[in-house]
Amino acid sequence: MTRIMFTTARPAARGRWSLPLVMAALGALQTLAFVQTTAWPLAVVSTALLALACGRAAPGRAALLGWAYGFGWLAAGTWWLYVSMHRYGGLPAPLAAAGVAALAAALSLYLAAAMAAFARWRRGRAAPDAALFAALWLLAELARGVLFTGFPWVASGYALVDAPLAALAPWVGVYGLGAVLAFAAALLAHAATLRRGRVAPLLAALALLGLPGLAALQRFDAPAGALTVTLVQTNVAQDEKFAVERMPEAMAWLEQALDGARGQLVVAPETAVPLLPFQLAEFAPGYWDRLVARFAAPGRAALVGVPLGDFDRGYTNSVAGLSDGERYRYDKHHLVPFGEFVPTGFRWFTEAMNIPLGDFDRGVVNPPSFAALGQRIGPNICYEDLFGEELARRFADPAAAPTIFANVSNIAWFGDTVALPQHLNISRLRALEFQRPMIRATNTGMTVVIDAHAEVTAELAPGTRGVLETEVEGRTGVTPFAWWAARFGLWPLALLAALVVMLSAGWRRRAA
């Protein structure tokens, strides 16, 4: 009898775990769309299968399925964090892998809660259930993107930068795109459960996914003049960036590149000069003065990534603007946990890694643009271009809004991984949201010019040292997303989603 009970229980146990494993695989598979964006249908189909599975499950089971999907999604989408922690941070491999897994597991709890609520409050009707699924999906993404400083990497809308739905980006932003994707996916899931001949949800989903791309993209921008730019890619390996023995050669090359640049605007990457001012004065006397002198003449300007401050009063991850004798300073506001500031209670973790300049002070929330060459250039540093709602604050006064965004980055921390094309597509989505060009000067890639249509018009091969010289056209105007996000942040999306959820929950209580 014992043997019979044991053998019959094993298939049941396998059945309980097979579907969560499938959901984890689907979550991982759809992350291909964040690198190769023409694969965006993967994100739609995988989300539809998640909605289908959770719509048939009890709340507890749906929570597990949502968590498994989220874990696969985040682990596959951010596995390169292992490279930064182990290869460059010096963290033991098991601890680095555990760190990535722990982050993915923790952030997937938002999606787990959303799927449990969906299973509890769904009505069994196409449109109300799709609206509920999209609202809960949106709330889960907003929570991940905002709470505890936020981690919106691989938010679902980024998979749509080359999809027809991208036409909605100037209206609803990346989170709104993700909600529309979830709504269409839930309609597809509902259509899969219907009898033959009842195709209204299927047709509605296909129309929603395809029709925005058939209409001409509405433009809210206008030309603001063109200028030539030189973007510098230093290509310094992360384990050599702060090595004293390698620094003289790297800094000499940077000085030579800036000196020979032909563009009116020259942009060098994040911490291109990797020394604080007092260190630079001791290490290379006269270096900074020579850079300032090069851009003192009218008609030339530069943005150079450099840390500013000192160890006693604090220091910032900054961009220095040089133009016509004027000095401009931009200090990074949205810092990366563990890499740029130490969260409370986690100093033991950061001390286990070798991260120079790992505890920066924050800059102001809404800094002025760099006014030069007839343009207003809005710097942002690395990770900051994930937060479109923060960049939107610069559009509260259209007369002072950036005409060009300039992202300076150093993601050499992640090696030659999918982090590079992922970050490129994030910048492309920002260009769609604001209808602004985004120029990117990076240490190891992707150094590119993105126009206001989110098209890459010029690029430098990643992993190479060199300069990219081309032309960029500034733009004026304010998109609907820039208008409402500048005034209200992400609250309109959150409140709309909460209202849908409350109506669905109230209906279920009345029906019971």
Q: Residue 220: its pLDDT value, please?
A: 94
Q: Are residues 326 and 213 in the same domain?
A: no
pLDDT tens for residues 275-306?
Answer: 999 999 999 999 999 999 999 988 999 999 99
Contact 475, 224 (CB under 8 A): yes
Mean pLDDT value across residues 339-368: 67
In a domain, 7, yes or no: no
Catalytic residue (one of 141, 241, 382, 390): 382
- Please tell me whether residues 171 and 231 are part of one structural domain: no
pLDDT at 7: 41
Report the candidate in 232, 248, 261, 283 with the shortest Cα–Cα distance to residue 410: 232
Q: Are residue 194 and residue 333 in the same domain, yes or no? A: no
What's the whole-number mean pLDDT along residues 270-279?
A: 94
Given a cut of 70, whether residue 98 has pLDDT beyond it is yes
341 in a structural domain: yes
The pLDDT score that the predictor gives to residue 6 is 35
| pLDDT tens digit sequence for 103-126 | 999 999 999 999 999 999 998 899
Q: Is residue 485 part of a domain?
A: no
The burial class, CB within 10 Å (0-12 / 13-18 / 19+), for 482 is buried
The residue annotated as part of the active site, out of 54, 141, 270, 473, is 270
Q: 190 CB contacts (<8 Å, ≥6 apart)? A: 55, 126, 129, 130, 201
Average pLDDT, the chain: 90
3-state secondary structure of 96: helix
What residues form DSSP beta bridges with 380?
407
- The count of domains in the chain is 2
Does one domain contain both 409 and 291? yes
Active site residue 270: yes
Look up 332 and say whether it is catalytic.
Answer: yes
For position 346, what pLDDT does the model report? 57
What span, in angstroms and rounded, lies between the C-alpha atoms of 323 and 288? 14
pLDDT at 200: 83
Check whether residue 157 and residue 239 sit in a common domain. no
The mean pLDDT of 367-390, rounded to a whole number, is: 95
Amino acid present at 481: F
Give the position of tokens 């999907």.
69
Same domain for 188 and 305? no
Contact in structure between 415 and 80 (CB atoms under 8 Å) = yes
Inside any domain, residue 483:
no
pLDDT digits (tens, 9 = 90+) for 298-352: 899 999 999 999 988 999 999 999 998 778 999 999 887 766 655 555 555 555 5
Q: Residue 275, Cβ neighbours under 10 Å: how many?
A: 20
Quick one: 97 exposed, middle or buried, by C-beta within 10 A (0-12, 13-18, 19+)?
A: middle
The active-site residue out of 332, 389, 433, 473 is: 332
Q: Do 402 and 364 belong together in one domain?
A: yes
One DSSP character per residue, 399-417 reads GGS-SEEEEEE--GGG-SS
Query: Is 10 contained in some domain?
Result: no
Closest CA to 103 of 289, 323, 346: 346
Q: Among 189, 203, 190, which Cα is nearest to 45's?
A: 189
**Residue 358 clears pLDDT 80, i.e. is over it:** no
Tens of pLDDT, residues 226-260: 999 999 999 998 888 888 888 999 999 999 999 99
- Domain containing residue 259: 224-478
Q: Cis peptide before 446, with omega less than 30 degrees from 0?
A: yes
CATH number of the domain bearing residue 374: 3.60.110.10
Q: Is residue 137 part of a domain?
A: yes
The 10s digit of each residue's pLDDT in 58-88 is 999 999 999 999 999 999 999 999 998 898 8
DSSP labels for 421-442? HHHHHHHHHHHHHHT--EEEEE
In 3D space, the residue among 258, 236, 273 whose CA is nearest the CA of residue 464 turns out to be 236
Cα gap 342→348, rounded to integer Å: 9
What one-character-per-residue DSSP string does 189-245 give? HHHHTSPTT--HHHHHHHHHHHHHHHSPPPP--EEEEEEEEEEEE----HHHHT-TT
pLDDT of residue 9: 42
Report d(CA 261, CA 39) in Å as an integer.
38
pLDDT tens figures, 134-183:
999 999 999 999 998 899 999 999 999 999 999 999 999 999 999 999 99
On the 0-12 / 13-18 / 19+ scale of CB atoms within 10 A, 270 is buried
Average pLDDT, stretch 198-218? 80
Return the amino acid letter for 491: W
- Do residues 172 and 134 touch, judged by C-beta distance below 8 A? no
The answer on 340 and 237 residing in a single domain is yes
Q: Is 61 found in the same domain as 202?
A: yes
Sheet with 456-460: strands ordered across:
370-372, 375-381, 404-409, 438-442, 447-450, 456-460
Query: Do 385 and 411 belong to one domain?
Result: yes
More confidently predicted of 325 and 32: 32
Alpha-carbon span 73 to 25, nearest angstrom? 8
Position 280 in a domain = yes
Report if residue 364 sits inside a domain. Answer: yes
Q: Between 69 and 207, where is the model more confident?
A: 69
pLDDT at 4: 38
Q: Tell me, yes or no, whether 270 and 375 share the same domain.
A: yes
What is the C-alpha to C-alpha distance for residues 436 and 366, in angstroms, rounded to an integer? 18
Do 277 and 361 fall into the same domain? yes
Is there a contact between 133 and 186 (Cβ–Cβ < 8 Å)? yes
